[in-house]
Structure 1
């Protein structure tokens, strides 16, 4: 309807001026259509429509030879449409065409008044200069607003990408920390169950432990899948992921160490200073728990013959940090070959990811041989 409204006044033009009026009206209608249509339309994108409308306007500026009164009638419509088109192109056109399309649209806005002022008899250059200067401020304002909104869009897109990446990393950490830990225990239990001499009671206990580990792995998988769902808004108005994994902390270490002992042949003990409770932030608590979990999983993978593991939690010498360490004695079968395999990180990238996570909180993580053939994983986290 808007396009028809722009073209309709051609019928009121003088019969000898119909052709010139139609040419001016069609150019203005093209600018209006390009400014208001939701692009892309078919295979035509906003960049192509904006470029076509601006080039058509510039071509008519150079080639028009009709009466000067006709451009004056359609001038406000075409000028306003080109200005809107400049704002849309500056904000929305992506890639290498953004600059050229914006420049052509801005030039068209500046020069379209000259179609009238240069053809007015005895007008001189003063009127044309004033018309161009009158268009400079709107062009600069619209282009600046478009660039500002473009920067906000880019920042928002980056934030969305970063949030999605962080969510994927959180899911990956959960899968690695919890599911892999339980699967490792299941594999070791299954291997132990293949040894001869197990009686009915031992077999029943083994199957019970396998069932419990499998159920814990399924619970962790359900939590991870729930974290991938769209966030909902809780009572405080803040977004939260449905089914997000519960944050574990240092208070959960006794249960973790006890489960490690009951699902394997390695005896683990926890030496935790009572005054460490509440010193770390919630994220620090979760990170410390993840470090202990990863270290115990690595003991199962790389030192199945270890006889004893000691998990120690204490306040650092400076009083401003909490130190966590997981030390195993290596046990039988741990030789230089086993130490080399650990140095190469054959169990995956769990410690590398945890080192980045710890460093982001201002802490440090290291792992290496300790009283060979033993191994120690040590983490230092700052108090909040």
Structure 2
């Protein structure tokens, strides 16, 4: 929902604070009421009516809204209705409206600008139309009462009022569209940031926590030697530190403006990111797969091997390499969760056709209780289903299914730069 800001921007783009706007509104109201004392006694009642209408309209255009329970839409609608009512009931001298008419007309245009730009969609057209009608018909308060004026005067007055009104409404509508685009862009950026944090939690933190849980289960087995216990504790410490590092990176990403990650691609490629505290974190890529697989194989009794063909690392963009790393990480995490009986895991990365990179993760089976790795479409957007969309965003593909040896196979193809 749109709400009117407590400050209005001046021509230089700086907001007028409320401490300036309220005295300005009070001064304008007093200035418009003061000439009533100079009116002829027989016309003083009509002068009071005209002065009150102008004195209400000008402050409404200047005051910050909402004021208590009164919103901009309520104030603007009430002022426009009062102006139209005076047009209908005014019976005083025809020259008297000429003094207050310009001030009221300018105030109505100011209210129209604020209403069109700031009011919610459900009320902007009603209030804006009422204000536009009041500003357009305001000159008739003088023109229709001019003796022997004919039809030319009222028509000219309406046209002279209508043309600036259309310009003001058009400018306000243009700024409203820009505000809407800016709001949608901010919403998209926030959504992407939330998705990035969710991916980090799923891809990295959950992977390390799964490893910690498995290590803890292994540590509960009887017959552990002191050396094995010491190595187990060191692996737990390292996994915990990696999870903390991942959390620090995600918190740093939340604190930084989007699009300022300091990455350089193509010539002079750099896959490091500079955080707001001056620290530099490295984005994982294909070159990090052997270390990932080695850590995975150090947990439990399965044998894990990594086959990274020469020339594979560096063929993809930094974002595509991060996606490939996340695919392997997710496949290994799923093996821990759904195939605890697996004894052998193989990760291969090799160049494909047209500069692409082919990634495969296979295991030798997890027993009859194994669950499928690939989630149903629309089942939450996490896991390999979410990574399938990420691979497709880079022009690649991802598939998962039974392997040739009875286990499970995850394949990902990512096009080169």
In the alignment, structure 1 residue 26 sits paired with structure 2 residue 59: no
- 1:62 aligns with 88
Q: Specify which structure has the higher proportion of helix.
A: 1
Deviation at 1:20, TM superposition (A): 0.9
Q: Distance in 2 between matches of 1:347 and 1:40?
A: 41
Match of 1:309 in 2: 345
In structure 2, relative to structure 1, the CA distance for the partners of 1:184 and 1:233 (3 Å cut) is closer
Where do 1:1-384 residues align within 5 Å?
1-229=27-255, 231=257, 242=276, 246-316=282-352, 318-330=353-365, 334-335=367-368, 337-338=369-370, 340-342=371-373, 349-384=382-417
- 1:344 & 1:152 partners in 2: Cα distance? 40
The secondary structure found in structure 1 opposite 2:311 is helix
What runs of 5+ residues in structure 1 fail to find an aligned partner? none
Compared CA separation, residues 70 and 372, structure 1 to 2 (3 A)? farther
In the TM superposition, residue 225 of structure 1 has moved relative to its aligned partner by: 2.2
Count how many residue pairs are aligned between Structure 1 and Structure 2: 378
TM-score, with structure 1 as normaliser:
0.93
Computed over aligned residues only, the root mean square deviation of the Cα atoms, in angstroms, reads 2.3
Change (3 A) 1:245 1:304: farther
Pick closer, same or farther for the CA change 1:13–1:240 going to 2, 3 Å: farther
Are residues 371 and 43 of structure 1, via their aligned partners in 2, closer, same or farther at CA, if it must alter by over 3 Å? same
SS at match of 1:69: coil
Q: Which moved more, 1:129-138 or 1:112-121?
A: 129-138
**CA shift in 2, pair 1:152/1:322, >3 Å:** same
Deviations, residues 208-228 of structure 1 (Å, cap 9, x unaligned): 111111111122122222222
Give 1:196 deviation, angstroms. 1.2
Equivalent residues of 1:288, 1:324 under 8 A apart: yes
Aligned twin of 2:3: none
Q: Provide the secondary structure at the position in 2 that maps to 1:128.
A: helix
**Aligned-partner Cα distance in 2 for 1:271–1:154:** 50
With 286-295 and 224-233 compared, the bigger mean Cα shift is at 224-233
SS in 2 for 1:214: helix
Q: Which runs of 5+ in 2 are unaligned?
A: 1-26, 263-272
Q: Structure 1 residues 234, 159: CA separation in 2 closer, same or farther (over 3 Å shift)?
A: closer
TM norm structure 2: 0.86
User: What is the rounded CA distance, in whole Å, between the counterparts of 1:277 and 1:217 in structure 2?
Assistant: 25
Report deviation, 1:342.
3.8
Q: For residues 269 and 240 of structure 1, do their structure 2 counterparts lie closer, same or farther at Cα, with a shift above 3 Å needed?
A: closer
**Cα distance in structure 1, aligned partners of 2:218 and 2:236:** 11
The Cα of 1:230 is off from its aligned counterpart by: 5.1
SS of residue matched to 2:66: coil
**Which runs of at least 4 in structure 1 moved beyond 4 Å after TM superposition?**
232-236, 343-348
Aligned mates of 1:139, 1:86 — CA distance in 2: 8
Cα shift at 1:232: 9.3
